[in-house]
A = this chain, B = another copy of it.
Amino acid sequence: MLNDLQNIAKDIDSLLLNDPFPETVKPDYLRSAVRDYPVRGGKRLRPALVIWCCELLGGRREEALYPAAAAEVYHNWTLVHDDIIDQDVTRRGKPACHITLQEELNRFQLSPTDAARSGRDFAILAGDLQQGWATDLILRSAEHGVTAEKILLILRKLEQYANVELISGEALDVEFSLRNVESVPETEVREMIYLKTGALLRFCAETGAVIAGGTSDEIDHLGRFAAAAGMAFQLRDDYLGIFGDFSSFGKAIGGDLREKKATLLLSKSIAMASESEKNTLLSLLGKEEYSAEDLKIVREIMQKAGDAVRQEAQNLADESKQILMSFPDSPARARLLALVDYLIDRQI
């Protein structure tokens, strides 16, 4: 699975690096910004999902390649706008898009305030251009054997899942950080997670299925498989954010607490805690740093909720694998099954 994932990453890297779409963008630093995130690499899980779901139903990989690249570009424009909104300064170990642009704009001798604002303004436009680029990549799959009717169906799904649902998920995530995070009930957190993480994966899986000419049942099954796997991944990620091992998790443990992020783990913990535990937990939200002692207290309070979330992640992973098992055995099925394990089991 990992070997083929690397092959797909190589194909996507090369396609995006050479794609003509950004070439006529002006000015030049905006053109570079449009290509920047999409060619920064990454595991290319979304393209793999498009391609393997296509192959699972007997479709041809070359027909799936452009829509696969489109899913990656779509994901990346949402990151460009997210990074502005979350005021993140880095992305995959490099400066965030708006920071890179801010530095480029120093050529105009701006004040620091104006440079920051203009960097942000051009990053808004970079993301806007990338949304168009993603659509254009899907349109160009017509030159690689995908029929016009299939392309229309894929684009309808793009606007439903990747535009309305994904952006609604991002908006809810922002809203939760403006509300008292402890007031956000589990059901709303769960919906936000599906929208923010599951919806684009559903788009990927269904797109692969459409390209392969799948029946509407097959398309729907693969969509549910991907949404469940995505939810499982996100719940596991939230769990590891508190209970993980720093050296293998890679991110700082407790980061979600510091950012008062609405996770299912936090909602469940608050719902299950005694009044005094709840007050202790709330008093520990939003700290600059977490000592070993802080984390010990948090983990004790969150233990029961943590077990429940881990179990729910496992159930979702099982559910997603069960859906896959209803398809005949094939190399693509084996890869998709391994992908679910990879998403869930890593770093434990």
Q: Which of A119-127, A220-228, A297-305 contacts B (4 or more CB under 8 A)?
A: A119-127
Are A81 and B172 within 8 A (Cβ)? Answer: no
Give the residue name and chain of the B residue nearest to A127 (CB). Answer: B128
Oligomer copy total: 2
Interface size class of chain A, counting residues whose CB lies under 8 Å from the partner chain: 35 or more
Q: Give the Cβ gap from A25 to chain B, nearest Cβ, in Å.
A: 6
Are A30 and B152 within 8 A (Cβ)? Answer: no
Name the B residues within 8 Å of A127 (CB-CB): 128
Are A159 and B139 within 8 A (Cβ)? Answer: yes
Are B135 and A155 within 8 A (Cβ)? Answer: yes
> Counting CB contacts under 8 A, is A26 at the interface?
yes
The residue that A174 contacts in the complex, of B122, B152, B172, with Cβ under 8 A, is B122
Most chain B C-beta atoms within 10 Å of own C-beta, residue among A147, A149, A155, A156: A155
Name the B residues within 8 Å of A114 (CB-CB): 178
Interface readout for A146-189 with B: 1 if CB under 8 Å, 0 if not?
01110110011011001111011011101100110000000000
Give the residue name and chain of the B residue nearest to A86 (CB). Answer: B121
Are A174 and B84 within 8 A (Cβ)? Answer: no
> Counting CB contacts under 8 A, is A2 at the interface?
no
The residue that A178 contacts in the complex, of B118, B125, B163, with Cβ under 8 A, is B118
| A167-B27 in contact given A136-B159, A139-B156, A178-B105 (Cβ < 8 Å) | no
Since A81-B125, A121-B174, A132-B167 are in contact, a sample of 7 more A-B pairs with Cβ atoms closer than 8 Å, ordered by chain A residue number, is: A25-B164, A81-B124, A84-B121, A110-B178, A122-B174, A129-B167, A151-B152
Spell out A's residues near B (CB within 8 Å).
21, 24-27, 30, 81, 84-85, 105, 108, 110, 114, 118, 121-122, 124-125, 127-129, 131-133, 135-136, 139, 142, 147-149, 151-152, 155-156, 158-159, 162-165, 167-168, 170-172, 174-175, 178-179, 195
